[in-house]
Amino acid sequence: MAFHHADTRVVEGIEVTMPRIEDFVILKLLAAVADRRRRARDLADVQSALETFAARAGSRLSVPAMGARLRGLYGLQGQRLQDLIGMFRLVARPARG
């Protein structure tokens, strides 16, 4: 699903397809829920993304926006949705200034 809504960018002269930041975060959350051994690293990646894209933290990367994307675009419901939102809430948010 993430690559259906991906953006195309030029990186060092090469055109690449990259998932949107909110989809990157969702992919990392899915990985964190699926594998406890890599959970700390995946959540650290989510935290790094939130820090790097702090301007979007109040909108596209907010808990309500991510919940809506998980429900609407990814079709998640019930316990799976709650698990991912709960995992997302565990990640420290950048300080607003």
Mean pLDDT of the 83-89 span: 94
**Cβ–Cβ contacts within 10 Å for residue 58, how many?**
11
Q: What is the band of 15 on the pLDDT scale with cuts at 50, 70, 90?
A: very high
Taking only the tens place, the pLDDT of each residue in 30-78 is 999 999 999 999 999 999 999 998 888 788 899 999 999 999 989 999 9
Contacts 24+ apart (CB under 8 A), 42-51: 43/87, 43/90, 43/91, 46/88, 46/91, 47/91, 47/92, 49/21, 49/24, 49/25, 50/25, 50/91, 50/93, 50/94, 51/94
